[in-house]
C-alpha cells in the first residue's frame, strides 16, 4: 500500500515533488488552485485552499498533508487538525511563516541573531525607529509578502503612510537596513520524531528582490560559517517545531555576523540546487520528513553546484527551439521547467550545473539560463 501525501497548492514546488514521489513509490495528490497549473500532472483536485470544507475533503484519505506555499489560513489548518489529519508543518510553526511579527518575536525568544526590529503602529513609532537607526529602515507588511512584495525601504516616517492606512491600526514590522556583504540560505529537514539534516549553507544572489542565482556551497565560507549557519538552522527548526523542509534566509554582515532575514517552511528556491547537487534533493527530503521516514544524506555530490533561475522566459517565440539551443550548447546543464505561461519576471524554470571548478560551473549555468532571456 503506497503512502499518500497530499499537497495543498499546485505550483512548481508541488510539481518538483512528483519525481521523487514516483521513485519512492509515494502517491502524491495535489489540490491545485486551478486547472493547468505547474503540478497538473499530479493534481487530483481543484479548489480553494481558503475553504476548510474543500481542504478537509481533499485531505480525507491521505497519510499526511503538506504544502506548496504557506498561505493556508489558520482556520483551515485548525479544521484539518480537528478532523484528525496529520498536517506538516503544523499550524503552530506555520503561524511564524505567515506572520513576520510573530516570527521576529519568536526568534528573539530563541536568542537567534536577527536585524533590530520593532512593531510599529504609525508614523510616530516609525520615526523613532528611523532616528535610532541612522534614518533608514525596511518596512514590511507582516502577512502576504513574497519575492520582494510587501517590503519597502523607508527614509521618512511618512514613506509608509499608505500601508499604515491599509493596515487599519494593525502594526507593521520595521527592521534595520542591514549593511550586508551577501545573502545566504540554510536548508534544514526535520521529522516529527526529531531527526534533522542540515544542507550546506548556500549563497543566494537576488535581483529586484527575487532570487536569481544560488551557489552551493557558499564560497569563501569555511568550516566556521557552515557550523554557525547550520546551528542557526537547526535551532530554528527545533525551536519552531518545523516538520519538513525549512529554509532560513540570512544576511552575512560586513563584520561577518549572520542575521536571520526570512523563513520558508517548504522546499525553497534556494534549495533547488539539491536536485542534482545533493545526494538527497530537498523535494525527496521534504516527502521523507513529512512522512516521518528516516532522512537521506544532505551531502553535496560535487564540489560546486550553481542554480540559475529562468525569469520571465520568452514572451513570444519558439520555446522548444530555445530548449534545443540550451541542450545543444550546454549538454551538462540540467533543465527544470515549471509548465507555466511566460510573463516578465515570473519564475518559469531553472538550470542546475555541477562540477569541480566554480568559475566553469557558474559560467555554464548562467550561459544556459541566458538562452531564455
Residues 308-327, interacting with a copy of itself (CB under 8 A)? 319-320, 323-324, 327
List the one residue from 186, 187, 261, 280 that touches a copy of itself (CB under 8 A): 280
For the bound state, the minimum distance from the C-beta of residue 197 to a copy of itself, rounded and expressed in Å, comes to 8
Report how far residue 225's alpha carbon sits from residue 84's, in angstroms, rounded to the nearest whole number. Answer: 41
Q: Which is nearer to a copy of itself, 334 or 347 (CB)?
A: 334
Q: Please answer whether residues 281 and 24 qualify as being in contact, where contact means their C-beta atoms are separated by less than 8 angstroms.
A: no
Binding test (CB under 8 A) with a copy of itself, winner from 293, 358, 366, 367: 293
341 binds a copy of itself (CB under 8 A): no
What 3-state class would DSSP assign to 336?
strand
Q: Does 367 bind a copy of itself (CB under 8 A)?
A: no
Q: 72-102 in b/e burial notation, b at 16+ Cβ within 10 A?
A: bbeebbebbeeeebbbbbbbebbbbbbbbbe
CB of 176 to a copy of itself, least distance (A): 40
Q: Tell me how far apart the alpha carbons of residues 315 and 209 are, in angstroms, rounded to a whole number.
A: 21
DSSP state of 293: P
Distances (CA, A) of 126 to 100, 115, 121, 130, 171: 17, 15, 8, 6, 10
At residue 334, the 3 state secondary structure works out as strand
Q: What does the per-residue mask of binding to a copy of itself show for 29-68, with x meaning CB under 8 A? A: ------------xx--------------------------
Tell me: does residue 339 bind a copy of itself (CB under 8 A). yes
Residue by residue, DSSP assigns 128-140 as HHHHHTTT-EEEE
How far is Cα 195 from Cα 359, in angstroms, rounded to an integer?
A: 35
- Please tell me what DSSP assigns to residue 142: S
Please select the residue that binds a copy of itself; options are 288, 290, 306, 365, rule is CB under 8 A.
288
Please identify which residue in 45, 302, 358, 367 interacts with a copy of itself, judged by CB under 8 A. 302
Nearer to a copy of itself, 2 or 166 (CB): 2
Residues 174, 120: contact at Cβ < 8 Å?
A: yes
Contacts 24+ apart (CB under 8 A), 117-120: 117/173, 117/174, 117/175, 117/176, 118/173, 118/174, 119/171, 119/172, 119/173, 119/174, 120/171, 120/172, 120/173, 120/174
Q: Is 76 in the site for a copy of itself (CB under 8 A)?
A: no
| Binding status of residue 19 toward a copy of itself by CB under 8 A | yes
Site size toward a copy of itself (CB under 8 A) is 43
Q: Which residues are annotated as a binding site for ATP?
A: 100, 140, 175-178, 183, 261-262
Q: Tell me which of 18, 101, 118, 172 binds a copy of itself, using CB under 8 A.
A: 18
* Interacting residue with a copy of itself among 231, 254, 297, 370 (CB under 8 A): 297
Residues that bind a copy of itself (CB under 8 A): 1-3, 15-16, 18-20, 22-25, 41-42, 275-276, 279-280, 288, 293-297, 299, 301-302, 319-320, 323-324, 327-328, 331-332, 334-339, 349, 354
Amino acid at each position: 500500500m503506497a503512502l499518500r501525501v497530499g499537497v495543498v497548492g499546485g505550483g512548481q514546488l508541488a510539481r518538483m515533488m512528483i519525481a521523487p514521489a514516483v521513485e519512492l513509490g509515494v502517491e502524491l495528490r495535489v489540490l491545485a488552485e486551478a486547472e493547468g497549473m505547474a503540478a497538473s500532472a499530479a493534481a487530483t483536485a481543484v479548489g480553494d485552499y481558503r475553504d476548510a470544507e474543500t481542504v478537509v475533503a481533499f485531505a480525507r484519505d491521505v497519510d499526511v498533508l503538506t504544502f506548496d506555499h504557506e498561505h493556508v489560513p489558520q482556520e483551515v489548518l485548525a479544521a484539518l487538525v480537528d478532523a484528525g489529519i496529520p498536517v506538516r508543518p503544523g499550524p503552530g510553526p506555520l503561524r511564524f511563516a505567515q506572520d513576520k511579527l510573530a516570527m521576529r518575536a519568536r526568534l528573539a525568544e530563541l536568542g537567534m541573531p536577527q536585524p533590530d526590529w520593532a512593531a510599529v503602529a504609525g508614523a510616530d513609532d516609525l520615526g523613532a525607529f528611523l532616528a535610532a537607526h541612522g534614518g533608514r529602515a525596511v518596512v514590511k507588511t507582516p502577512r502576504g509578502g513574497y519575492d520582494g512584495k510587501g517590503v519597502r525601504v523607508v527614509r521618512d516616517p511618512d514613506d509608509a503612510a499608505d500601508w499604515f492606512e491599509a493596515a487599519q491600526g494593525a502594526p507593521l514590522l520595521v527592521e534595520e537596513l542591514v549593511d550586508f556583504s551577501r545573502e545566504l540560505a540554510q536548508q534544514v529537514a526535520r521529522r516529527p520524531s526529531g531527526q534533522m539534516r542540515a544542507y550546506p549553507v548556500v549563497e543566494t544572489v537576488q535581483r529586484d528582490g527575487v532570487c536569481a542565482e544560488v551557489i552551493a556551497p557558499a564560497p569563501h565560507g569555511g568550516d566556521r560559517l557552515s557550523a554557525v549557519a547550520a546551528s542557526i538552522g537547526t535551532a530554528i527548526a527545533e525551536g519552531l517545531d518545523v516538520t519538513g523542509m525549512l529554509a532560513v534566509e540570512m544576511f552575512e554582515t560586513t563584520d561577518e555576523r549572520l542575521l536571520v532575514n526570512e523563513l520558508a517552511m517548504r522546499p525553497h528556491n534556494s534549495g533547488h540546487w539539491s536536485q542534482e547537487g545533493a545526494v538527497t534533493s530537498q523535494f525527496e527530503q521534504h516527502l521523507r520528513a513529512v512522512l516521518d521516514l528516516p532522512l537521506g544524506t544532505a551531502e553535496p555530490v560535487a564540489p560546486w553546484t550553481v542554480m540559475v533561475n529562468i525569469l520571465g522566459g520568452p514572451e513570444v517565440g519558439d520555446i522548444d527551439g530555445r530548449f534545443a539551443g540550451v541542450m545543444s550548447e550546454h549538454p551538462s546543464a540540467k533543465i527544470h521547467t515549471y509548465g507555466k505561461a511566460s510573463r516578465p519576471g515570473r519564475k518559469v524554470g531553472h538550470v542546475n550545473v555541477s562540477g569541480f571548478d566554480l568559475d566553469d560551473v557558474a559560467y555554464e549555468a548562467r550561459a544556459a539560463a541566458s538562452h531564455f532571456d
